Amino acid sequence: MLRSGAVVAVAGGAAAIATGLAARADEHPASGAGSAGAPAPMGSPSAASQSTGDRHTEALLRELLQQRAVASDEPWVMAHVVLAFGADVKNGGRPIVDALVADGLELQTIAGKTYPHFGLAVERHPFHFLQILQLVDVPYDQRFDTPRGAYTRKEIVQGSEAVFDPTQHVDEASWTISVLTHEFPPDRDRFKTARGQDVVVSALVEDHLRDTESAYAAIFASMNEGKPYGRGVVHTKACNGLHLVYGLIDALRNGYRGNDLRSRFGELLRATIFRLPLEQKLVDATLRGDDPLVRLNADAVKLSFLGHALEDLGYGVRFDVFKLDAAQDAAVALARRQLGQVVERLTTEHDLDMLRAKVPNAYGLVLGDACHALRGIRYWT
């Protein structure tokens, strides 16, 4: 598992890489409504988004994932494949979502009652897999046969709520916010866990908003001063802070407005767009040299940032959480073109087989990030 500050050793005598993929805290490949997980082609947020380039990027990502990710038996990668392709995607005739639930579901007994939920050993973030089942619109009554029994999605949601312990919730809450704001609308925003703890979802949203604002403090300062920034707290967060933003988009989409959430989120939206060109310059300044794995690492970090940013922005626009003005839309259009260039290099120039052999954990991260990028670019095609 790659954590902030970890070092990925580069084979062939090159210097160790202490940034890039290793600087992302999201991930472990062993990071709604309707078909948001694999959004259908739709009217774009702007006329400029209807481009041959976007469709080409989509096609390259789709081919990459079909060749390298769909056959994976690693639950973290499987979850991302479902995110990218939807609940009906199959591997060898079996729906991947069935295998994901069968492999990832655990049981926990509290006060003599047993509850199904996904264990952190496989999903790594609380409610991560449930968020994916939610956004690809798995029916509540769909039943999954697992080695630990047969359970519906609804029963797994209820089990996860029952075992949730807010006092131990030290991980980023984006996925938790996405699921709980969907399950508990603002006018009935509380529930009791199996341990008798009272959970107030609106309070969780405010805590998450404060955490996000704290992580973005240096970005806000740079944006207000009109100057670039260096690596900071936001880069220790899941996918460089972009999952933090996604959770708040879901909170707004699900009707939460307390504590001036909408206007405070507006600053985070501006900061996200402000970051689009600067993050790539930061990567170029940090990861230099001609070593093939260094260059691959740089493009992998750009894939992660651009893919997640376009996913956040496309998702928010698609579901009318916010609108972009002309300047913001132009910045997004440029970011889409830059994502296309990164994907082109990843699929034609870089040796992903070498990465899989030498740094398999990083290879899994590339596949997961490609899934987010595919979902992201599809909002704009």
CA distance 252 to 284: 34
In this prediction, what percent of the chain has a pLDDT beyond 70?
Answer: 87
Q: Look at residue 228 in the predicted model and tell me its pLDDT.
A: 85
Alpha-carbon 209 to chain mean position: 17
Answer yes or no: is pLDDT of 191 > 80. yes
Using alpha carbons, list the distances in angstroms from residue 97 to 80, 93, 138, 288: 10, 12, 9, 40
Confidence of residue 109 (pLDDT cuts 50, 70, 90): very high
The two tokens of residue 191 are 């529930």
Q: Look at residue 43 in the predicted model and tell me its pLDDT.
A: 42
The two tokens of residue 347 are 């699929």
* pLDDT greater at residue 6 or residue 192: 192
Contact 98, 116 (CB under 8 A): no
Angle at 176 between CA 42 and CA 315, to 5 degrees: 15
Burial class (CB in 10 A: 0-12, 13-18, 19+), 107: middle
Task: Give per-residue pLDDT as tens, 292-329.
Answer: 999 999 999 999 999 999 999 999 999 999 999 999 99
Angle at 357 between CA 338 and CA 90, to 5 degrees: 70
* pLDDT greater at residue 170 or residue 63: 63
Task: Give per-residue pLDDT as tens, 249-258.
Answer: 999 999 999 9
Q: Look at residue 220 in the predicted model and tell me its pLDDT.
A: 97
Alpha-carbon 229 to chain mean position: 23
- Contacts of residue 136, defined as CB under 8 A and 6 or more positions apart, other chains included, come to 32, 35, 36, 37, 38, 82, 83, 86, 87, 97
Is the Cα dihedral 352, 292, 299, 79 positive or negative? positive
Read off the pLDDT of each residue in 192-211 and give the average, rounded to a whole number: 97
User: Which parts of the chain fold into alpha helices (H)?
Assistant: 52-68, 75-85, 96-104, 120-123, 128-135, 153-163, 174-183, 201-215, 217-225, 242-253, 261-286, 292-318, 326-348, 352-358, 360-378
Q: Look at residue 101 in the predicted model and tell me its pLDDT.
A: 97
Structure-token match 């995110």, residue found? 83
Read off the pLDDT of each residue in 62-72 and give the average, rounded to a whole number: 98
Q: Look at residue 325 in the predicted model and tell me its pLDDT.
A: 96
Structure-token match 């508990």, residue found? 184
